Structure 1
Amino acid sequence: MVNEKKTTGQGRNVALVAVVAALYAAITLMIAPFSFGPVQLRLSEGLNHLAAWNKRYIVALGLGVLLANLVSPLGWIDWVFGTLGTVIMTTITYFLTRNMKNALAKIITSTVVVATIGMAILAGEFVFAFNIGASGAFSSGSHGGIFAQWLAYYISVVPGELFSLIVGGVIIYILNKTIDLSK
């Protein structure tokens, strides 16, 4: 006989992964023209804070990014590197915050990880994409050496990311007051 409680828990996990992935993709696609490119506002990035509460959200956010990036002007580059970057930064967030009890500390840690490591990976993705000519619907506009290009892209993506993380952080903080996000 299958353990009914374990099966119910697994079903709940799968459902939560699907809901968060769909929510990430839907929010991204709702403002799609602004969700892609070297200067972007991807409000769905505020959901990255969820990884500080439960490792299932690493999978959920990775899937959400993959789904959203299926329409990215960068094509396969964004499918692979965008998804991989999200999995890396949310995994780091999870491990750094898994023993923290304070919600604000979790959100601050998540914000720092995503705005530094996550955006560094994204800037690297843009350098790679534009140097191989995969400009898609937007052009590079960055010239100079590899580091100069990386720095220009990093500086261009951080403001929108910080805005999204602050908005998402406020929502997740309030949500955490009424829902146990770790379960």
Structure 2
Amino acid sequence: MSAKKIAPIAMIAAIYAVLTLTLYPLSYGVIQFRISEVMTVLPYLTPLAVPGLFVGALIANLFSPVGFYDVVFGSLASLIAAWLTARMPTRWLAPLPPVLVNAVIVGTLLKTVSNLDVTLPAAMFYVGVGQLVICYGLGLPFLYVMERFQDRIPGARPRS
């Protein structure tokens, strides 16, 4: 892999991890608004965002109150969501995989390893609502802005 590919991957990972850790109280828990999830729309524009988001989530999850389980399953959820986002046919669908995948995987994870006094569907719902707010409320406008600069994004594919 060339430096031209490694640099944007590392930059995405670093920004994701720093945003998550800087806003720590909002980033973890069953009701979470992980502002860094705004970046989950980037795989729609460039496949280089997939490993960047995975590595960023992995680094951020090292500091999770859920510990090892979040490092493994939370990071895996980010990888699956990013991979699916890269395959979305329209920008309107780009934020959907992070919402659904994180709702199911992270909601299940939090219900399973935490002493939450909520049902599994409720845990999934809470995580999903936080993801929906960030991914659609902030991520979709972010995607529109990034599309304007698509010619400057490393590895970007032309999208209509």
Q: CA deviation at 1:20?
A: 0.4
Q: CA deviation at 1:117?
A: 2.5
Matched, 1:150 2:120: yes
User: Partners of 1:90 and 1:45 in 2: how far apart?
Assistant: 11
* Cα-to-partner distance string for 1:27-68 (whole Å, 9 max, x where unaligned): 111110110010111010010101112222110000000111
Aligned length: 153
User: Partners of 2:38 and 2:101 in 1: how far apart?
Assistant: 15
* Cα-to-partner distance string for 1:52-94 (whole Å, 9 max, x where unaligned): 1222211000000011111100110000000001111111221
Q: TM-score, normalised by structure 1?
A: 0.78
Q: What residue number does 2:113 align with?
A: 129
User: Partners of 2:56 and 2:6 in 1: how far apart?
Assistant: 13
Deviates more, 1:47-56 or 1:57-66: 47-56
The amino acid of 1:118's aligned partner reads N
Q: CA deviation at 1:164?
A: 1.1
Structure 1 residue runs of 5 or longer lacking an equivalent are 1-6, 131-138, 143-148
Does structure 2 conserve the Cα–Cα contact (< 8 Å) formed by 1:29 and 1:68? yes
Q: What residue number does 1:175 align with?
A: 146
Does structure 2 conserve the Cα–Cα contact (< 8 Å) formed by 1:43 and 1:168? no
Matched, 1:46 2:22: no
Q: Look up the SS of the partner of 1:141 in the other structure.
A: coil
Q: CA deviation at 1:172?
A: 2.4
**Consecutive aligned runs of 4 or more in structure 1 exceeding 2 Å deviation:** 178-181
Matched, 1:73 2:43: no
CA RMSD of aligned residues (A): 1.6
| Match for residue 78 of structure 2 among 86, 89, 96 | 86
The amino acid of 1:14's aligned partner reads I
How is 1:57-72 mapped onto 2 (pairs within 5 angstroms)? 57-72=49-64
User: Partners of 1:176 and 1:78 in 2: how far apart?
Assistant: 31
